[in-house]
Each structure stands twice: as C-alpha cells, then as structure tokens.
Amino acid sequence: MSAPSDSNSAPRVRIAPSPTGDPHVGTAYMGLFNYAFARRHGGKFILRIEDTDQARSTPGSEQAIFEALRWLGIEWDEGPDVGGPFGPYRQSERLPTYALEVERLLQSGHAYRCFCTRERLAELRKQQVEAKGKFGYDGHCRSLDPETAKARAEAGEACVVRLRVPDEGETLFVDGLRGTIRFANAEIDDQVLMKSDGFPTYHLANVVDDHRMGITHVIRGEEWITSTPKHVLLYQAFGWKMPEFFHLGLLRNPDGTKLSKRKNPVSVFYYREMGYLPETFVNFMGTLGFSMGDDVERFTLAEMVEAFEWEKVHPGGPVFDPVKLAAFNADDIRDLDDEELYRRLLERVLPRERLMPMVRQTKERIKRLDDFVPYVACFFGGEVDYRADWPKAQKKVKKRARKEVVDALKGWLDEIERDPRARAFDAEGLEAFSRDYCEASGFKAGELFTLLRLASTGRMATPPLFDTLEIVGKDRMRERLRGFIAFVAGQPDWAAADKK
Ligand code: GLU
C-alpha cells in the first residue's frame, strides 16, 4: 500500500489526460515538459488515463492520445498499454481503491456523507445568486451523525461524500515556478470526493493515484492551481507526503486568449495531417515557456532533455504562434535531404489509407489516370481560395442576410463536436447530423450543403458532399470552415443591399 516516494530517489512524474475528444496540443505540451524533466533526472514518466467521467470518455480518444504522443516521440515508461508496477493505469479500473480510501476519510472524520438532493442544491445556488453572496455548499449535512448517515447510505439512500474543509485558516502550497500560493479556507468548497454512483471525482482519484503511484512532482497546467488547495487538504487528511507542484502557463492564441479550437487547431492530429514534422512540432512546443538560453530556438528533444532546468521555464502564458511553427517547419523541410523528404511525403501525404478513399471517389470521374492529381488536389493543403466559386454559392442564399449564413456555419462547426453522429466524421453520420441541423436551423439542405461544399474544397464541383467531407477530414474541415466563415463575414451584406 505504501508508495515508493522518497525525495532522494529519481523523480516519478505523470500526465493524466482525460480521454475525451481529439488529442489536445496541451496534453502533448504537458507530456513534453514531464518527459524532459523525468529524462533529465533518470526518472520515470507515467501516463495515467483519467476516465472517471464515463459519459465523456471514449476508448478511441484514449488510443488517439497514445498515437499522438508516440508520433511526437514522447514515450512513457508506465501506462495502460505498457503496464508497470503501480497499475492499473486507467482510473475506471481502480474503483475499489478509491472506495477504500474514501472510507478511511469517513472514519477519520475528514469527509462526510451528504444526502442533499439536486433540487436542494439548485435552490441553494439560486439563493446565493440572488443574495450575491458566497457560492458553494452550505454544509447542511456536515453535522449528521456519521453512524446514522452510514445506515441511511446502506439502506440505499443516494448520497455523495464530501471533504470537510476547515472554515478558518488558510491552505497553502509552494509552486516550484510561482512561489507560495495561499487560499483562505473559507473560499474552498466542501468538495465532492465520491459521487452517488460510486465514481470518484477528479480531486479524489487524482490525489489517491498520485500518492499510490509514487508521483514526486506534479507538473501540470495553471488551470489546476485552484484545485491544488483541495489536493493539499486531501494529502493532509490522509497523512501523506505531498509531491512538489509546478503549474506551467496555459498555451495562448496570439491574441492572448486561451488556446482554443475556435481560433486555432488544437488537435495534435491536425498538425500531423497537415505535414508538420514531429521533431519540429516538439521543438516548437519546447520554445513555449522554456528557453535554452543564448537565444537558441532550434533544438532537438535530446538537447532539451539535456538542458532542462526549472530556472529555464517561465510560467507566463506562452503564445502558440502558428506562423512561427510554419516557419520552423519550412526550415526543417529545406534541411531534409531529397531521399528523406520523399520518404516523408510517401508516409504522410500519399499513404494507401489516405489515397484509397480518393481513388474510390475519382474512378467514375476521370478520363485519364493523369487527371487524378488535379482532381484530388483540393483534398490536400491548407487554405483554399473561395473567390472564384463564391458567386455561384451565394446565389443559393441570396435571400438570406450575411449574418444568418455566418451563424448557420458557426453553429454547424460547434455542433459537430457535440453530436455523437458527427464525431467520427464519416459520410453517413455527417449526412444524418447535417440534415437534422438544417431542420433545426431553418436552412434548406440545398443552401447549407452548397456552402459546405465550397467551404470544404473551394470548389462547387466535387465528389458527393459527405464523402468529400469525410476525406477532407475533421481537422482540415474545421480549419477551412473557419477560413470560409471569415471570408463570408468579410463580404458586403448582399441581402441588405437587395433591400435598399
Ligand atoms: N485529468 C486532468 C486533465 O485532464 C489531470 C490534471 C492533472 O494533471 O492533475 O488534465
């Protein structure tokens, strides 16, 4: 039961992504810094999958995390797929452990059962909003007799388990990059540790696993700083030695906002599909928040490992600048010898899995083999030019105001993330989703589909729309649609002009 942590031994670090959605650039970024630190000190880098949110976690997304990290060369020593001495490394397989640990907290009085219903909590929240007062749980069940509460739970009454946070005093921790960070206990909620379905929350599972897996340094994003005092209280309640904490700056868009898929592609796969070299991408991420010194920006993963020190890491929000990444990539492509470049082209741009769907779509539409390349050109590359075919597409929506069109496209772009049918981005699912989307948005299929056709390829003549979207792929489609939305938004409002 006791963990192997010992401050003199080699460090053990981890990333703990939740397997939801596409593999995020932020996960790769945290992976890189954890990896560099572990390798620098001969320690271990662990990959733990935090899949306690059963509604959102998917096996496909877990596989995608593995694939994305491996593509970048950020290899882990222990994890769900490679095993290790402290497994299982998937939280959904560790439920008995959390139940055991939460029981210890209940017995020591650091946690209590709470029977408040959803309705009561909603009412409480409403009152707090109206009173503009303090938010959070009001401690209603704190003073229940533990034995009675236990009996009620055992009799089947639904309850959660909450952490008993002291009302007074403060909780602090030292962040290796930011110094001492303090929180007034009065501001910390009596956090839910175990949900009524027996699943732990992030806070409980994260602390229990970090302890049991012997994690010595928690290196994660700054968005977790406000969770850390809750974790500190948990370590204290359990009587466990605390790891050291390092909160890296959150990646930002060039305009300073948090990196988000509304503004930038955030899936590692996008960068892979678009032909960024993995070593370049790693180098680029390494320049975000870490400086090699002497203005050296170009370095390999091995060089970063060699040079890694916390003094060279800056927590200020690092800017993910795609222009800089593209410049790095162009330089690195230029530096490849011709044979190597050819090999990479075959591997990334012309692999069988990518070409086959295009072969199928093209067969009935080309007269000579040599027509193939111009025909499929629209499936490759980044931005496309909408100007030539825009007037044709515009005719289809001439009765609508520009804003309506822009909003409909934005809505489609947002909804493809949420609708389970569209998530896999296959032709069938996309069609079913898009037809329903038309009904809901009041757009005619003919209108929306025309816009999507132009948005996806820059052309009005393409193979069947949904096959086309499938081949273009989710990441490239997102990027192009963003470009198309900006293009449409930049047009004079045609409907308004009509009304004059
Ligand atoms: N599951 C959390 C995430 O998705 C882990 C955060 C942490 O590193 O503690 O990033």
CB-side neighbour CA atoms (13 Å) of 473: 21
Q: Is the peptide bond before 88 cis (omega within 30 degrees of 0)?
A: yes
Residue 8 has a pLDDT of 56
Q: Is the CB of 18 under 6 A from ligand 1?
A: yes
Q: Is the CB of 16 under 6 A from ligand 1?
A: yes
Rounded CA separation 322/320 (Å) = 6
Paired tokens of 111: 């946690």
Residue 497 has a pLDDT of 56
Atom number of ligand 1 nearest to Cα 50: 1
Each residue of 99-130: pLDDT tens digit?
Answer: 999 999 999 999 999 999 999 999 999 998 88
Rounded CA separation 273/276 (Å) = 8
What are the start-end ranges of the E strands in 121-169? 160-163
195 is catalytic: no
Residues 6+ apart with CB under 8 A from 134: 128, 186
Domains of the chain, first to last: 95-248 (3.40.50.620), 374-489 (1.10.10.350)
Find how far residue 344's CA is from the centre of its chain: 27
Nearest partner of 53 among 201, 194, 159, judged by Cα: 201
Q: Is the CB of 224 under 6 A from ligand 1?
A: yes
Tell me the torsion sign for CA atoms 275, 277, 280, 284: positive
Atom number of ligand 1 nearest to Cα 30: 8
Hey, whose CA ends up nearest to atom 5 of ligand 1? Answer: 16
Tell me the torsion sign for CA atoms 476, 58, 98, 87: negative
Q: Are 288 and 248 in contact, with CB atoms under 8 Å apart?
A: no
| Number of neighbouring beta carbons within 10 Å of residue 335 | 12
Residues pairing with 114 in the sheet: 160
| Number of neighbouring beta carbons within 10 Å of residue 274 | 17
CB-side neighbour CA atoms (13 Å) of 391: 1
Residue 381 has a pLDDT of 87
> Given 44, 126, 134, 261, which residue is catalytic?
261
Residue 226 has a pLDDT of 96
Atom number of ligand 1 nearest to Cα 14: 8
Helical (H) or strand (E) element with 283? helix 278-286
Distance 293 CA to ligand 1 centre (A): 30
**Bridging pattern class, strands 192-194 and 160-163:** antiparallel
Rounded CA separation 81/67 (Å) = 11
Residue 2 has a pLDDT of 42
Distance 240 CA to ligand 1 centre (A): 20
Atom number of ligand 1 nearest to Cα 206: 9
C-alpha pair distances (Å), 299 with each of 5, 255, 287, 328:
32, 26, 9, 11
Paired tokens of 61: 């997304």
Phi, psi of 193 (to 5 degrees): -105, -35
Nearest partner of 382 among 470, 462, 273, judged by Cα: 273
Distance 417 CA to ligand 1 centre (A): 21
Residue 221 has a pLDDT of 96
Nearest partner of 309 among 294, 282, 291, judged by Cα: 291
Residue 500 has a pLDDT of 47
Residues pairing with 217 in the sheet: 244
Residue with tokens 């732990």: 200
Q: Are 189 and 137 in contact, with CB atoms under 8 Å apart?
A: yes
143: buried, middle or exposed (CB in 10 Å: 19+, 13-18, 0-12)?
exposed
Show the CA angle centred on residue 241, arms to residues 240 and 243, nearest 5°.
125
Show the low-confidence residues of the chain (pLDDT under 50): 1-7, 500
Residue 6 has a pLDDT of 47
